[in-house]
Amino acid sequence: MQLDLAGVPVVITGAASGIGRACAIAFAAEGARVAGIDRSPVDVPGVVGLSADVTDEAALAAAVARASEVLGGIAVVVACAGTSGPFGAAVDEISLEDWNRVLAVNVTGQFLLVKHALPHLRRAESAAIVLMGSDSGFVAAPGMTPYNASKGAVVQLTRALSVDLAPIRVTCVCPSIVDTPMARRDLGLESFDGVGYPVQSAADVARSVLYLASPATTAVNGTTLVSDFGYLARSSFPA
C-alpha cells in the first residue's frame, strides 16, 4: 500500500523510547520529515530531537513552534508520551500527586500537543492527529485506576476533537500489552518470552499509527483502532 508520507512534516511526543521511538523510526523510513519531542534525548537517525515535558505548556509550545520552523510546517502529530503511574496500587493507597501526574501526562499532555500544533495543522493541505490510547480505555486491569481512567478519557478526547477540529482528522490507537521498557519495568520482567499471553511490539503499533496518519485513511475520523488480538470481541459466556 502506498502511504504517501514522503516529505510530510510529522511531530511525535514520547519519541525517546517505546512506541514513540518506534513511530519516529517508522515515519522516517517512509520519508517523512520528523521531529521528536521528549524529556529524554531523542536518538533516531534522521529525526530532529527537541526537549520538552508534555505537562509544561510553555516548554511544549516552544518545542512545537521550533518543530514547525525546522520541518517547514506540521501536517501530522502523534501523541505517544505517556506514563503508567502507580502499578498494582489499591485505590486508597494512590496519592493525589500520582493521580494528577498520570492524568497530566496521558490526557492533558495530549490536549496541549493538539492545542499548540493546531495553528500549524490548519495550514496543512491534509492534516491528521493520532492519539495514543490503550485497551485500558475499554477494560480495566486491577491496580491501575489512574491509568485506566486516563486512557478512557483519551478515547473520548479523540471523539470530541474530531468533532471540533474537522476537517482535521483525529484518531486513536488502543493497543493491549506492548513490549516497551515501561511495560517491562511495571511487570518486573527482563523479557516477555514465554509469558503465556500475546504481546505486540512497538513497531506493530507504529504501523497502525502510520496507516491512520496517512492519506490512505482520509475517510477515517473520530474513531479508535483497538489492537488487542481480539480480546474485546470475546464473549464472557462460558462455552
pLDDT in tens, 15-40: 999 999 999 999 999 999 999 999 99
Q: What is the pLDDT of residue 54?
A: 98
| Whether pLDDT at 205 is above 80 | yes
Q: What is the pLDDT of residue 187?
A: 87
List, for residues 122-177, the tens digit of each pLDDT value. Answer: 999 899 999 999 999 999 989 999 999 999 999 999 999 999 999 999 999 999 99
Q: What is the pLDDT of residue 101?
A: 97
- Asked whether residue 184 is assigned to any structural domain, the reply reads yes
**Number of domains present in the structure of the chain:** 1
- Asked whether residue 36 is assigned to any structural domain, the reply reads yes
- Asked whether residue 233 is assigned to any structural domain, the reply reads no
CA dihedral 60, 62, 67, 72 (to 10 degrees): 140
Q: What is the pLDDT of residue 170?
A: 98
> Per-residue confidence at 65, pLDDT binned at 50, 70, 90?
very high
Q: What is the mean predicted confidence (pLDDT) over 98-107?
A: 98
Structural domain including 62 reads 9-227
C-alpha grid cell, residue 14: 514520547
CA distance 172 to 78: 9
Return the percentage of the chain with pLDDT > 70, whole number. 100
Q: What is the mean predicted confidence (pLDDT) over 97-113?
A: 98
36-68 in b/e form (b: 16+ CB < 10 A) is bbbbeebebeebbbbebbbbebebbbebbbbbb
Q: What is the CATH number of the domain that holds 206?
A: 3.40.50.720
- Asked whether residue 232 is assigned to any structural domain, the reply reads no
Asked if 137 and 149 touch (Cβ cutoff 8 Å), the reply is no
pTM strictly above 0.85:
yes
C-alpha grid cell, residue 132: 495514543
| Whether pLDDT at 3 is above 70 | yes
CA distance 101 to 146: 9
> Per-residue confidence at 186, pLDDT binned at 50, 70, 90?
confident
Of 147, 197, 211, 231, the active-site residue reads 147
- Asked whether residue 234 is assigned to any structural domain, the reply reads no
- Asked whether residue 32 is assigned to any structural domain, the reply reads yes
- Asked whether residue 238 is assigned to any structural domain, the reply reads no
Q: Which residues lie across from 77 on neighbouring strands?
A: 11, 129
- Asked whether residue 2 is assigned to any structural domain, the reply reads no
Catalytic residue check, 231? no
Q: What is the pLDDT of residue 239?
A: 64
